[in-house]
Chains A and B, each alone.
Chain A
Amino acid sequence: MELLAFGKTGWGDELFYATLMTIAVSITAMLVGFFFALIFTPLKLSKYKTLNLVGNFYTTVIRGVPELLVIYLFFFGGSGAIMYVASIFGYYEYIEINAFITGSMAIGIISGAYSTEVFRGAIQSIDKGQFEAAKVLGINKFGQFYKIILPQMLRLAIPNLSNVWQITLKDTSLISVTGLVEIMRQSYIAAGSTRDPLFFYSFAAVLYLMLTYVSMKLINKLEVRYSRGY
């Protein structure tokens, strides 16, 4: 237990901050994922074949390639790509992006592919009559989406989004390879300096279990809230 003490003698406070970091990366990645899903879901549902192709390419590639490989692409290629774009605008200095941004972008793109599939499924399972009724009532496209489709879609999407959240939360452990100090990286450091890997990795597992347990409870509450009236 003294290994987990707060302060200089133990790893308690370090692991506490690492847990906060994991939560921060997961939430950022999830939001980045939503952003990508908002772009690619309409593409997948579009009537134009080319747009469909772009949407399908994104979800197929990301869901068919290991997360770790995507993270390596971002880790090794991220600053190169940014520098290339910067060089077009006449900026030639070395740019280093921090591990938090690289990590949440990489995980966000992965999470976005799963979110896209969830949104697509949810929209497709909304009754066609709803779209038609909205049109007949003369509601504009914006209102149709935000007032009629989105509220119904959210209710259908929440159970599956909770799966995406779990995947995202667990995927953040892979960012430890880039050196970002989240739960996994901190346990690695602690295990290395105390020569007690069994304890620290098991403790990391407990932390992840706690995170998944608490988030499941919260999401269940959301689910109940959004299915009022059903």
Chain B
Amino acid sequence: MDFDLMITSFPKLLGATVVTLKLLSASLFFGLFLGLFFAILRLNKNIFINKFAYGYSYIFRGTPLLVQIFIIYFGLGQIEYLRTTFLWVILKEPYWCAIIAFTLNTGAYTSEILRSAFQTIKPGIIEAGKSLGISNKIIFYKIQIPIAIRQSLPAYGNEIILMMKGTSLASTVTLMDLTGVAKYIISTTFKPIEVFIVAGGIYLFMTFIIHNVIKYLEKKYSFQQ
């Protein structure tokens, strides 16, 4: 065991954690909206809209995240037309490519989580709202969405942890996130176990925090109060 290496690599890895957290929070933020949007499309009665939303979530859940990042980072740059538009400013940055890929990926999973949450809301609740003369719009925003969010908290907590692990793939497109820096230190010092313990410890700590925050929220918004 090389404890000196563990101590010296800790601040470097902690600095890289900031990149990981930035990637995570940005993709979760955009992914939540995307997921909500597609969950609502899934509930639409129009079969084309419905199938479109299903196709989106099927493709992004059925392929590895690595393929998705590579298509966006290496693949899209190949289209000549894209290079002339303003989109190129975003797409030439690995940072934004990673965020786009993560957003599309987590959006697909989130849409499934929210869809099943919407579908498990008892029809009686919506009927009660209707019989009280509340408009459909208010029923949706004030009754369905809050219940669906509470319902999907445990599954969404898992999704946050999965996404946190997913951000490690950013290191494959040259970003120096926690895993990227860990790999760099391993390949220069050839001490994989020490670096794994420190980097893995940081990841576990983040998992622990996310897990407990979700647990707290679940308790706070539980139905039996």
A-side residues, CB < 8 A to B, are: 60-61, 63-69, 72-73, 76-77, 80, 166, 170-171, 173-174, 176-177, 184, 187-188, 191, 195-198, 201-202, 204-205, 208-209, 212-213
Q: A67-B165, A72-B192 are in contact. Are A61 and B200 (CB under 8 A)?
A: yes
B187 touches A76 (CB 8 A): yes
Q: What number of residue pairs across chains A and B have CB atoms under 8 A from each other?
A: 113
* 13 examples of A-B residue contacts, CB within 8 angstroms: A65-B204, A66-B165, A66-B203, A67-B165, A69-B203, A72-B196, A76-B190, A170-B63, A170-B65, A174-B64, A184-B70, A202-B75, A204-B67
Also in contact, A72 and B183, with CB within 8 A (given A65-B203, A209-B59): yes
Q: How far is the CA of A201 from the CA of B59 in the complex (A)?
A: 14
Shortest Cβ distance from residue A169 to the other chain B in the assembled complex, whole angstroms: 8
List of A residues within 8 angstroms of B66 by Cβ? 173-174, 176, 184
Contact A208 B63 (CB under 8 A): yes
Inter-chain contacts of A208 with B (CB < 8 A):
62-64, 67
Q: Does B48 sit at the interface, judged by CB under 8 A?
A: no
1/0 contact string of B137-155 vs chain A (CB within 8 Å): 0000000000000000000
- 16 additional A-B pairs beyond A72-B183, A73-B192, A174-B169, beta carbons within 8 Å, are A64-B207, A69-B179, A72-B179, A73-B193, A76-B187, A76-B190, A170-B65, A173-B64, A197-B74, A197-B78, A201-B70, A201-B75, A202-B71, A205-B59, A208-B63, A209-B62
Cα A184 to Cα B66 in complex, Å, equals 8
- Rounded to whole Å, the gap between the CB of B95 and the closest CB of chain A is 18
How far is it, in angstroms, between the C-alpha of A196 and the C-alpha of B171 when the chains are bound?
A: 22
Q: Which residues of A contact B21 (CB under 8 A)?
A: none
* CB of A200 to closest CB in B, whole Å: 8
Please, which residues of chain A bring their CB within 8 A of the CB of B9? none
